[in-house]
Amino acid sequence: MLKKIPYISSVLLLIASLCSCGSTVKVRDYPVDDAASDTTENVTVPATVIPVLTENVQPTTEPFSVDISIPENYTLPDSYVIEGFETIMQEPELPTGCEVTALAEVLNFLGFDIDKVELCDNFMPVDYEGAVNMYYAYIGDPKSNNGFGCYAPVIVKTAYEYFESVDSPCYAVDLTGTDLYDLFYQLCYDRPVIVWTTMGQRETYPNYKWTAGNGEDMVFNDYQHCVAIYGYDLNAGVVYTADPLVGNTTYEITRFETIYDIMYKQAVVICGDARTEGSFVHDPDIENNEVWSRKSQLSETEITVNIYD
């Protein structure tokens, strides 16, 4: 277990029983005189050209990136379903670990071989004591029924550290604030989207609030849940959902949109897949933000163990 932070919130333990869940650089060609090209006489090459021509120039490539912005005047098709997307069930190993399970669903669909528990244990920052709120880390224990959950920035950080471990140029984007119908644009390009909702589409509000160990507010909506959406049908009025508690299912769009809005319009999309060529690119904005790093947590734990050994 990770080294515990010396802050224990009694409220955390009381409420935890509630439901939660490239382009290549090319050496410039020098012009050749047409008259000179018609003769067999020797042509003197300027000495300054020789180092350029003989130097072993390595091609450079642009970092991998995907333009996920919606073009102007774009018309959304009436329906689109990503073929072959399968749900990963969170139970029994992660009864309250829906967020990291939804990420595992998307990563596996994209061709990455990663188990939900391994993703949870090695890459998702976890706070067992309530020292921070759900924007910084998963609060509680996702392997128990007493876990609360986490918000979109934590899943972005989890994906970031996983991609670093496999040297992949792929990356996650936080789409929080995006309207549900605009998320459908991503689906049309075979990019499933992780979204925050509730179990069984139950209507919920921030019924519980307390102060975390860092002095910031911790607000919790009961029945919090996280799923991946992989399709929609405007005519039938449904959204295709990989629900880690239910399986592949459809929910009524209007209801789904209502709950999505209540849950602060949180969404995450992954750019690229396992076939994407290139290497991992460090992002200072992600590495230096306040979201906890599981890699750092594990390193601190390892150091602690070595000291006491």
Ranges of each domain in the chain: 11-20+85-280
Angle at 269 between CA 263 and CA 275, to 5 degrees: 160
Q: Tell me the whole-structure pTM to 2 decimals.
A: 0.81
Rounded Cα–Cα distance for residues 101 and 106 (Å): 9
Angle at 104 between CA 209 and CA 168, to 5 degrees: 115
Q: Read off the pLDDT of residues 186-198 as tens digits, 9 standing for 90 and up.
A: 999 999 999 999 9
Q: What is the mean pLDDT of residues 246-268?
A: 98
Domain 11-20+85-280 sits in CATH at: 3.90.70.10
Helices 98-109, 152-165: axis angle to 10 degrees equals: 50
Rounded Cα–Cα distance for residues 172 and 153 (Å): 10
Q: Read off the pLDDT of residues 90-149 as tens digits, 9 standing for 90 and up.
A: 999 999 999 999 999 999 999 999 999 999 999 999 999 999 999 999 999 999 998 999
Cα Rg for the chain, rounded, in angstroms?
25
Phi and psi of 102, rounded to 5°? Answer: -60, -40
Q: How far is CA 283 from the centre of its chain?
A: 14
